[in-house]
């Protein structure tokens, strides 16, 4: 099965798991929360995601660098229809709200 045959949510999960070796990862499809924000959008599909990730790879990285890392890893998904991506990155031992 190629990446294109997987759901976008699974592609995101697979890529972040392989590259970041996270201690914790949540990929949340929030598309349904955005229904009606655009005239033709009914909230179905895979267009809006929240990524919560704790990874040792983020140790010593500034917040902007962490966001760029995730965005770079998911560049194909952003080109393939992901309209919004909320990123909540942390290194092990850092406090998180989730």
Q: Domain for residue 37, yes or no?
A: yes
Q: Domain for residue 98, yes or no?
A: no
Instruction: Give the CATH number, domain containing residue 68.
Output: 3.30.300.90
As for how many domains the chain has, the answer is 1
What pLDDT is attached to residue 4? 66
**Under a CB-based contact definition with an 8 Å cutoff, are residues 60 and 69 in contact?**
no
pTM of the model: 0.84
Q: Domain for residue 95, yes or no?
A: no
More confident residue, 34 or 32: 32
Q: Domain for residue 96, yes or no?
A: no
More confident residue, 47 or 89: 89
Q: Domain for residue 33, yes or no?
A: yes
Domain that holds residue 68: 3-90
Average pLDDT, the chain: 88
Q: Report the distance separating Cα 81 and Cα 49, nearest Å.
A: 11
Bridge partners, 54 (sequence order) = 24, 90
What pLDDT is attached to residue 81? 84
Q: Domain for residue 45, yes or no?
A: yes
What pLDDT is attached to residue 61? 98
> pLDDT tens, 38-85?
555 555 568 889 999 999 999 999 999 999 999 999 999 999 889 899
Q: Domain for residue 68, yes or no?
A: yes
């Amino acid at each position: 099965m190629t990446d294109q045959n997987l759901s976008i949510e699974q592609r995101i999960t697979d890529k972040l798991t392989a590259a970041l070796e996270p201690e914790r990862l949540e990929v949340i499809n929030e598309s349904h929360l955005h229904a009606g924000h655009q005239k033709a959008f009914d909230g179905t599909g895979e267009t809006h995601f929240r990524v919560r990730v704790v990874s040792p790879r983020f140790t010593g990285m500034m917040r902007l660098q962490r966001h760029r890392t995730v965005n770079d890893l998911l560049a194909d998904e952003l080109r393939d229809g992901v309209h919004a991506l909320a990123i909540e990155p942390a290194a092990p031992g850092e406090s998180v709200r989730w």
